[in-house]
Amino acid sequence: MTTPEPPLDDRSAGQADLQPPTTTPAEGDQPAYRVDPTHPTTSRTRRGPILGLSIALVAVLAGGALFLAGWTVGSRQAATPGTPAGDEAAFAPFWSAYHFVIDNYAGGTVDKKQIVEGAIKGMIGALGDPYSSYLTSDEFKASLQSINGQFEGIGAEIVTKKADGSDSDCTTLGPDCRLVIVSPIQGSPAEKAGIKPGDIVAAVDGQTVDGQTIDQTRDRIRGPKGTQVTLTIVRGSVAPTDVKVTRDVIQQQEVITKTLADGKVGYVRVTGFSDTAAKSVADAVKTDVGAGEKSFVLDLRGNPGGFVTAARSIASQFIASGPIYWQQDASGNKLEVDAEPNGAATDPSIRVTVLIDKGSASASEIVAGALQDTGRGTLVGDTSFGKGTVQQWHDLSDDNGGFRLTIARWLTPKQRWIHGVGLTPDVKVTPPANTPAGQDPVLDKAVELLTTGTSALAPAA
């Protein structure tokens, strides 16, 4: 019995994994851990799975013990159920307030469930950590689906464009800022309903989108599987048409592949870190290597992260052995997470460039940092986001939502903590703000490095 590796908190608007993470032991692959013998607080006999189980159990107990009467440790503290004897003084104000509210609130019926949820939300919020938060049951479910590369909706990529049809950074929809369908995902409800690239979404369920942001409108379009949403579509000069779409579970395309430089360079773009994405990358790299390709571009731009298990798997396609990253817990104990065996492109003669930008975060930085520190890849682009913490997700069950909590830091193979700093590219390329559509200076530079044999690809010091 092993403990699954906790997932990274994915993204501010995330995408994610087929088996939701759990804080209880479960069957599954266990990363190869090695104890850091140089760290004064690390015990050699305390291997990774044991420590991982300890972390998981702490999360389980902490999630419910503070507030649920069923966890009480003694009848003598009936008024403060679940509070350990040594913490009675610290929790006295909480229980005093709780009982006073329950017994005396005259504004209406007190919903104990909401009171407990509010207390948990306040407790997590008091940490001041933007990556730790309480989530309602619906939010918890949606977030896990998102990290998995899944969501419930119609399955269409959307962007904002100016009224003249040009790309735009406009944030508020209206006459001069349109919400446009880029393309429906193949086989999606949107495609089946006849929605086409270039369609303009003017209203959702009869209500205009004017005055809203793209995120607000996206949230209106998404919804539970099996429910219907009506989009008012403007297509060319034809009068607006209402299109009814039945929502479903959508699996996003997280891996995009192609060949460049007349088939000499393999290109793999990763937009999320789910188990599905990890397998797709492994398959793509194996196929390209089998076809004789000796150069790769791994594009992680705009990728806000996902599961650390996926990051380890993807990095292991290029790194044969040794650390992919280190994980450091709250006590300072460090565990080395090593490469998985049998990566498809670990041959040192296979050259790799990794594209990063300010939107490359979390799991993206684990992969990019691993390739940079081991000399297996050259980073091209702009400085990455800088998120160096690991979150674990805990389901409170019984429709009580859940929370995500920062439980560790991750460090690069050379034990750099890039939190708040980011990874500095080996070759910095910042595209002009007015870069014409269809041009990509960052990708062009990466291909140039691979095809000209420049010394910029020498292993990092």
Token pair recorded at residue 190: 């949107």
Task: Tell me the HSE value of 207 on the side-chain side, using a 13 A CA sphere.
Answer: 8
Residue 448 phi, psi (nearest 5): -60, -45
Find out whether 172 and 211 touch, Cβ atoms under 8 Å: yes
Token pair recorded at residue 88: 């009675």
Residue 100 phi, psi (nearest 5): -65, -40
Element at 251 (helix H, strand E) = strand 248-251
Q: State the maximum Cα–Cα separation within the chain, in Å, rounded to a whole number.
A: 77
Token pair recorded at residue 28: 């599954």
The label of the residue with tokens 């300890």 reads: 54
Residue 443, SS3? Answer: helix
Token pair recorded at residue 377: 């890849």
Which residue is catalytic, options 146, 274, 280, 362?
A: 362
Residue 293 phi, psi (nearest 5): -70, 135
- In the annotation, is 428 catalytic? no
The label of the residue with tokens 């918890």 reads: 140
Residue 126 CA to residue 120 CA, distance in Å, equals 10
- In the annotation, is 358 catalytic? no
Please report the beta strands in 114-173, taking only residues with DSSP state E, as ranges in sequence order: 133-135, 150-153, 156-162
Nearest to 382 by CA among 429, 339, 317: 429
What's at 174, amino acid-wise? G
Which residue is catalytic, options 199, 338, 373, 395?
A: 373
How are strands ordered across the β-sheet holding 295-299? 255-260, 265-270, 295-299, 351-356, 378-381, 427-428
Which residue is catalytic, options 36, 387, 395, 426?
A: 387
The label of the residue with tokens 């034990």 reads: 415
Element at 312 (helix H, strand E) = helix 308-315
CB burial of 69-108 (b: ≥16 within 10 Å; e: otherwise) equals eeeeeeeebeebbbbeeeeeeebeebbeebeeeeeeeeee
- In the annotation, is 387 catalytic? yes
Find out whether 344 and 280 touch, Cβ atoms under 8 Å: no
Residue 317, SS3? Answer: coil
Please report the beta strands in 55-176, taking only residues with DSSP state E, as ranges in sequence order: 133-135, 150-153, 156-162
Nearest to 308 by CA among 357, 275, 345: 275
Which residues are tagged catalytic? 362, 373, 387
